[in-house]
Copies of this chain bind each other. A is one copy, B any other.
Amino acid sequence: MSAPVRRTGGRSAAVLSSIRFAVEELVRERGAEKVTIPLVAERAGVNPTSVYRRWGDAATMLNDIATYRLDPARELPRTGDLRADLIAWCREIVEHYRKPINAALLRGGSASAGEQETECLRNRRAEGLAIAGEAGALDADDIIDGLVGPIVYRAIFLPWTLDEDLPVRLVDKVLAA
């Protein structure tokens, strides 16, 4: 019996990073709907099996890679001014999806959504609640319906409307209601 293979963080992090790079390049070149796991594996120089093992299918892979840049461990705006913090947080999300590659990945990933809540959505809701929930100002539905939902909807269907005023407009509406 051989000892179990030890995976170093360094090596698997490098593999993951080359897969992400390959996905982003291929989405730019061909559009999200034409990106397949064999293509990604070839471009990244990894075995397709390890891509399948991690994500199962191309849509799940896109969904995951679409959102890793909004690192859930990043620092949130917490100045104590609820309105300003919410606006700053929405701005981050809007800025994220103003990048065509992120919007394309979101669209590609939405094809695989619907059977369970995505990690990304869970993270955004937790962040929104961390900013506004303690104060009792907003609940999870307010955050989904008033902030995350409209931003993501526009990113998918009306990306040219993700303008600078959007965060202020949404936050003022959700705080007024």
Contacts and interface: CB of A to CB of B under 8 A. Distances in A.
Count the copies.
Answer: 2
Interface stretch (A2-10, A44-52, A70-78, A105-113): A105-113
A169 to B, nearest CB: 7
A59 to B, nearest CB: 6
Given A103-B114, A110-B111, A114-B103, A145 B156 contact: no
Contacts of A66: none
Contact of A144 (B33, B103, B154, B174): B154
A176 interface: yes
Interface in A31-88: 32-33, 57-59
A130 interface: no
